[in-house]
Amino acid sequence: MAEHVTVAREGAVQVVRLNRSEKKNALTAAMYAELGDALRTAREDADIGATLVLGHPGIFCAGNDMADFLAASQGGGMLAAYALIEALAEHDKPLLAAVDGPAIGIGTTLMFHCDLVFATERATFHTPFTDLGLLPEAGSSLLGPRTMGHARAFELLVAGAPFGAERAKEAGIVNHIVASEELEAAARASAEAIAKKPREAVRMAKRLLRGDPAPLKARMQEEGALFLERVRSDEARQAFMAFLQKSAR
């Protein structure tokens, strides 16, 4: 079976690719675990200066694999998602993403943890949390308003309105919009340039820009407890079943 998350070293850049295009890169518990491991490796490896997260042409990430997510929520599989979220909070090296096509759920909330995001005109950012009876995750309830202001954060994270690339750039979660055929090259060039800079200076500067991580970690814990409560609610179960039935048609 092909790996659903591939990790490669390109000089001082760690390149992480979501590699489940047949399922639109929907994340399973195993993929969450692999992503968390990649971030921890990058943080601890002195030879890595930046991490770049990629999808495939026309798709970045469809969020959670709903069938896998439902199974994980009944057992210990949610721990893998929490491990990734914790790794994001602790990650103190440059993190970049290149988005072409839909970025749904965690595919969008990941952007709040990235330092540079490249997107194409066909990139869309969508978090249908409340449609599924759920809540914002990965610290997005704190980072969203901080980045975009309350009104736009509410529109994206609660109302579930899709943001196109231009709106996402205006809101502050996308840095550059480039042509699809130039996306990966542009993101790689930026990652390589950052990785060449004095590494400890970059890490210290990122820490200053991000500020004290304690409030973020506390919010993530609060979100996690409430999220798990919501997953087990009748409201969310009914929304999940409706989603799966619709997807099966």
What per-residue confidence (pLDDT) applies to 57? 95
* Measured distance CA(14)–CA(103) in Å, rounded: 21
Helices (H), 102-198: 106-109, 140-148, 150-157, 165-171, 183-195
Reading the block at residue 148, the tokens are 């975009």
Reading the block at residue 100, the tokens are 């072409």
In angstroms, the Cα distances linking 42 to 103, 168, 181, 208 are 23, 27, 27, 19
B/e letters for 55-83, b = 16+ CB within 10 Å, e = fewer, are: bbeebbbbbbbbebbbebbeeebbebbbb
Encode the chain (249 residues) as per-residue pLDDT tens digits. Answer: 358 999 999 999 999 999 999 999 999 989 999 999 999 999 999 999 999 999 999 999 999 888 777 776 665 556 788 899 999 999 999 999 999 999 999 999 999 999 999 999 999 999 999 999 999 999 999 999 999 999 999 999 999 999 999 999 999 999 999 999 999 999 999 999 999 999 999 999 999 999 999 999 999 999 999 988 898 888 988 888 887 777 666
In angstroms, the Cα distances linking 124 to 168, 174, 175 are 8, 11, 14
Q: Which amino acid is at 233?
A: S
Q: Supply the pTM of this predicted model.
A: 0.94
Pairing between strand 116-119 and 124-126?
A: unpaired
